[in-house]
Amino acid sequence: MSLFLVMMPKQEGKKEAEAQKEEKVLIAQMEQIFTSFLYAKDRRYKGTPRIAFEIATQIGSNDISFYVAVPNFLSTALEKYIHGVYPGAMVEKVPQDYTIFEPGGVAAASYMKLAENPVFPINTYMNLEKDPIATVANTLNKIAANEGAAIQVVISPVNQGKWRKRVQKILEKMQEGKSAKAALAEVGASAILSGINKGIADMKKTPPKERTIEEEPKKQGVIDQLGMDAIQKKVQKQVFETNIRLMASAQSPQRAEEILSHLEGSFGQFSLSSINSLEPVRVERKNLRKFIYDFSFRNFNKSQKNILNIEELTSVYHFPTFFVETPYIKSVKSRVAAPPADLPSEGKVAVGKINFQGEEKKVYFASGKDRARHFYVIGQTGTGKSAFMEGLIRQDILNGEGVGVIDPHGDLIEHTLEIIPKERIEDVVLFEPFDMQMPMGLNMLEYETPEQKDFAVQEMIAIFYKLFPPEIIGPMFEHYMRNAMLALMADIKNPGTLVEIPRMFTDDAYMNDKLKNITDPIVRSFWMKEWKQTTGSTRSDMLGYVVSKVGRFIENEMMRNIIGQSHSGFDLSKIMDEKKIFLANLSKGMTGEVNSSLLGLILVSKMQMAAMRRARIAEDQRKDFYLYIDEFQNFTTDSIATILSEARKYKLCLILAHQYIPQLEEEIRDAVLGNVGSLGAFRIGAEDAEFLEKQFEPEFSRFDLVNLDNRNLITKMMINGKISTPFKMQTLDIVKGNQEIVAPIKELAKLKYGRPKVEVEAEIMERSALGPAPELPKPPPSL
């Protein structure tokens, strides 16, 4: 036989008035599962097949698990049966059987038998106010981790035609006025159907109960209507031969007996007045070994059989609904949904993999156009966002694509370096600002066209608003800062840097020298009239107000040597057009949080400038460039809306990731959710789930979003220009890289794009007049 663990999803509850009605509808679905086995046969299978349904809490765990064991020929069919009725269920094949028996422990067991003839029904879930499984589960919930218990229901198909014929004859006799007992005796069904056996003999030792179904006819011709109604209720639905076994295991006989008594007591709810009930028959010690053998191998024992219809079976065993509040029931933490029918079966880039109803397949992007609509990823720390991006980055690099990665932690960059193939080592441009021996220049005031000049100034102002509270920036800072930057940018061949901004306000000779290149009359007027006429305390106040904001970066040696170089060490336009690999390790621990943010903001802005420069290139000649930004809220200004809406035209494809919604300003949040084509959510917090729920309804709710396992995400993808329905997928397995190639790649990148520290410092000192230039090392004497 094959054993399967069945887990049902937890969903939100309904209003109580609706809940009771819906709860019975959900329980009734189990009848369809039982019906699927009515005629289960296979020519290779000898004898009548049996199917086992079990609820167990095993040793070493408090989890309450629901299992189904079927003959091997039914293993594939079982998954289809269950998924057909419960699309959100998870059916996992169990490679090794569970056990409830503790080594050195003591077991106790019993089986349930119908107190009356099986033609009479027991009470069912249709008449009960509470889900009967809740009572059983609550009993199991009280079992300790070093104890075990199980309820096993083994069913075997019977000949439905013969059963109905016998019952029909009984009803005909009762219609003539005979009592139920007389009718049973006359038809001969008593011996055939009631299963007179040792179990019944044992039960007869107990005191007889009061009956409402009369054993003797009152008068000839008087119909036993109560008995007829009860039998007709039973015969309305198909039946199975059934064994119901209860097992308990504990450290002492007393505790094992106590657990078993509680399990037996939970079956009292199935007593239907005095018409019929399920009564326990305790297994004697001498017979316990054989009983455990039958339990373990799920054998059907004719001497313990009952005949129950599918409504009665469903009452005794069904999968838990989301109304059952018993803790520790093993369940699907989040629902699954059918993947889109038009999901591509192949492609250049695999996004993840789906395991739906026992079938696993990879998820691909259909085309580069779909990726150009960008991908937004959100999830708590440790849920798998970085691993998800690693998988995409690796494939893009292997496919020869242009790739950019901006990482505020550093791990993503290190792992990416490990997977660089030999043929692409020369393509790597590595920016590590904390490498102070070979600093790479990054100048925001560098530009090529008037449009880029205006954009750079606006972005730099926006960056300062991002880095500092708005109340300490203000319009005056913006006014002075803008004019200082425009003056420094006047000479396109020799642009100034942020380091020289203080000199514009303190060195009149330097300012006059820069004025020679300024052609903008507004900027000239500011410096010639407004600033020169500002004197005394006003000039001192404004100088301190402006310089203090820039000073924190200029005064930092690491930052000064990067932003103080007039020409950037790398050309982002060239990197994008030539499909290079740009990696920016902005580790906050190594760089500092504010420094990391400033450099990231400058990089993203320059990327946007480089993308918009592609307007000069024919659209069919623009090459895709994939930019990955982790914790992107640190590196984007309000212009992210422009990037998301326009960058796709210039083939700049963004993959943006962060942890939670409040990290985003409202304008940025709306821009992202309103423009991205593909959206993926790993496990998120309750508030974020409530906000994002509307993105994934009706397939998934906020409860699914907060209960996702690591490396699982719920996503909507762009497929051939259309947004797909939401579905759940897993990230790809992580491919281990080669750590030995990391150091050589770093060394090569520094030599190609960095400059010696002494050389950089000498240039900055000269340009900014911060002090005497350090002496450069003397060249070695010629031979």
- Greater pLDDT, 694 or 211: 694
Closest to 376 measured CA to CA, from 363, 389, 395, 390 = 389
Clarify whether residues 414 and 514 are in a common domain. Answer: no
Q: How many alpha carbons lie under 13 Å from residue 52 in its C-beta half-sphere?
A: 25
Clarify whether residues 152 and 297 are in a common domain. Answer: yes
Q: Biggest alpha carbon distance in the chain?
A: 135
Clarify whether residues 418 and 310 are in a common domain. Answer: no
In this prediction, residues 571-582 reach a mean pLDDT of 96
Clarify whether residues 208 and 243 are in a common domain. Answer: yes
Which structure tokens are listed for 521? 């009359």
Clarify whether residues 557 and 582 are in a common domain. Answer: no
Residue 779 in any domain: the answer is: no
- Greater pLDDT, 368 or 237: 237
Q: 239 has which bridge partners? A: 309
Closest to 692 measured CA to CA, from 387, 382, 352, 379 = 379
Residue 778 in any domain: the answer is: no
* CB 128, CB 319: distance < 8 Å: no
Angstrom distance (rounded) from CA 600 to CA 150: 58
Closest to 459 measured CA to CA, from 305, 613, 636 = 636
Residue 224 in any domain: the answer is: yes
DSSP labels, 389-410: HHHHHHHHHHTT-EEEEEESSS
**Structure-token match 């708590």, residue found:** 380
- Measured CA distances, 457 to 246, 446, 663 (Å): 78, 10, 25
CA dihedral 672, 676, 678, 683 (to 10 degrees): 0
Q: How many alpha carbons lie under 13 Å from residue 190 in its C-beta half-sphere?
A: 11
Instruction: Check whether 33 has a pLDDT greater than 90.
Output: yes
Which structure tokens are listed for 369? 């156009």
Please report the beta strands in 720-781, taking only residues with DSSP state E, as ranges in sequence order.
722-723, 727-730
Q: 106 has which bridge partners? A: 250
Which structure tokens are listed for 130? 């509470």
pLDDT at 759: 94
Instruction: Check whether 219 has a pLDDT greater than 80.
Output: no
How much of the chain is helix, strand and coil, in % rounded to 5?
45, 15, 35
pLDDT at 780: 58
* Percent share of the chain, pLDDT over 90: 57
Q: Where a domain ends, among 526, 551, 566? A: 566
Domain count across the chain: 3
pLDDT at 45: 63
DSSP 3-state of 729: strand
- Greater pLDDT, 197 or 438: 438
Instruction: Check whether 214 has a pLDDT greater than 80.
Output: no
Residue 328 in any domain: the answer is: no
In this prediction, residues 430-449 reach a mean pLDDT of 94
* CB 114, CB 262: distance < 8 Å: no
Confidence band (pLDDT; 50, 70, 90) for 201? very low
Closest to 629 measured CA to CA, from 446, 779, 466, 405 = 405
Residue 539 in any domain: the answer is: yes
In this prediction, residues 635-652 reach a mean pLDDT of 84
Residue 616 in any domain: the answer is: yes
Residue 322 in any domain: the answer is: no
293-345 confidence digits (pLDDT tens): 999 999 999 999 999 999 999 999 999 988 888 888 888 877 777 788 888 88
pLDDT at 166: 87
Averaged pLDDT of the chain: 87
* CB 416, CB 583: distance < 8 Å: yes
Clarify whether residues 305 and 185 are in a common domain. Answer: yes
The domain that holds 263 is classified in CATH as: 3.40.462
Residue 43: burial class (beta carbons within 10 Å; 0-12, 13-18, 19+): exposed
DSSP labels, 200-254: HHHHTTSPPPP-SS-SS-SSTT---HHHHHHHHHHHTS-EEEEEEEEEEEESSHH
Instruction: Check whether 278 has a pLDDT greater than 60.
Output: yes
Is the previous residue joined to 698 through a cis bond, with omega within 30 degrees of 0?
A: yes
Angstrom distance (rounded) from CA 781 to CA 760: 23
- CA 454-637-459 angle, 5° bins: 20
Angstrom distance (rounded) from CA 543 to CA 515: 19
Clarify whether residues 608 and 649 are in a common domain. Answer: yes
Which helix H or strand E contains 781, and what residues bound it?
none
Instruction: Check whether 752 has a pLDDT greater than 60.
Output: yes
Angstrom distance (rounded) from CA 273 to CA 707: 43
* Percent share of the chain, pLDDT over 70: 91
690-715 confidence digits (pLDDT tens): 999 999 988 888 888 998 999 999 99
Clarify whether residues 55 and 126 are in a common domain. Answer: yes
Which structure tokens are listed for 186? 């006359």
Clarify whether residues 297 and 194 are in a common domain. Answer: yes
DSSP labels, 499-561: GGHHHHHH-HHHHHHHHTT---HHHHHIIIIIIHH--HHHHHHHHHHHHHHHHHHHTSHHHHH
Clarify whether residues 642 and 530 are in a common domain. Answer: no
22-26, 50-54, 758-762: least confidently modelled range: 22-26
Q: Where a domain ends, among 540, 566, 592? A: 566
Which structure tokens are listed for 340? 């889109």
DSSP labels, 406-441: EESSSHHHHHHHHT--GGGGGGEEEE-TT--SSPPP
Q: Where a domain ends, among 566, 582, 617? A: 566
pLDDT at 220: 42
In this prediction, residues 731-750 reach a mean pLDDT of 93
Phi then psi for residue 51, to 5 deg, are -125, 135
Which residues 6+ apart lie within 8 Å of 264 measured at CB? 110, 112, 246, 280
Range of the domain at 747: 334-442+568-772
CA dihedral 65, 71, 76, 79 (to 10 degrees): -30
The domain that holds 613 is classified in CATH as: 3.40.50.300
State the sign of the Cα–Cα–Cα–Cα dihedral 263, 265, 270, 275. Answer: positive
Angstrom distance (rounded) from CA 73 to CA 499: 77
Clarify whether residues 606 and 558 are in a common domain. Answer: no
Closest to 1 measured CA to CA, from 53, 62, 38 = 53
pTM across the whole model: 0.77
pLDDT at 285: 92
Instruction: Check whether 563 has a pLDDT greater than 50.
Output: yes
pLDDT at 215: 45
Which structure tokens are listed for 261? 């008594």
Confidence band (pLDDT; 50, 70, 90) for 275? confident
Residue 327 in any domain: the answer is: no
Angstrom distance (rounded) from CA 70 to CA 34: 12
CA dihedral 196, 201, 206, 209 (to 10 degrees): 20
Q: How many alpha carbons lie under 13 Å from residue 617 in its C-beta half-sphere?
A: 18
Closest to 491 measured CA to CA, from 455, 515, 456 = 515
Closest to 720 measured CA to CA, from 340, 336, 395, 337 = 340
Closest to 9 measured CA to CA, from 315, 369, 362, 320 = 320
Which helix H or strand E contains 348, and what residues bound it?
none
Angstrom distance (rounded) from CA 402 to CA 410: 20
pLDDT at 196: 34
Clarify whether residues 366 and 244 are in a common domain. Answer: no
Closest to 505 measured CA to CA, from 484, 530, 476 = 484
Instruction: Check whether 361 has a pLDDT greater than 60.
Output: yes
256-270, 335-349, 440-454: least confidently modelled range: 335-349
Instruction: Check whether 467 has a pLDDT greater than 70.
Output: yes
Which residues 6+ apart lie within 8 Å of 313 measured at CB? 31, 34, 153, 155, 240, 242
Residue 18: burial class (beta carbons within 10 Å; 0-12, 13-18, 19+): exposed
Which structure tokens are listed for 283? 């297994």
pLDDT at 655: 96
Which residues 6+ apart lie within 8 Å of 123 measured at CB? 269, 270, 271, 272, 277, 315
**Structure-token match 């995409």, residue found:** 392
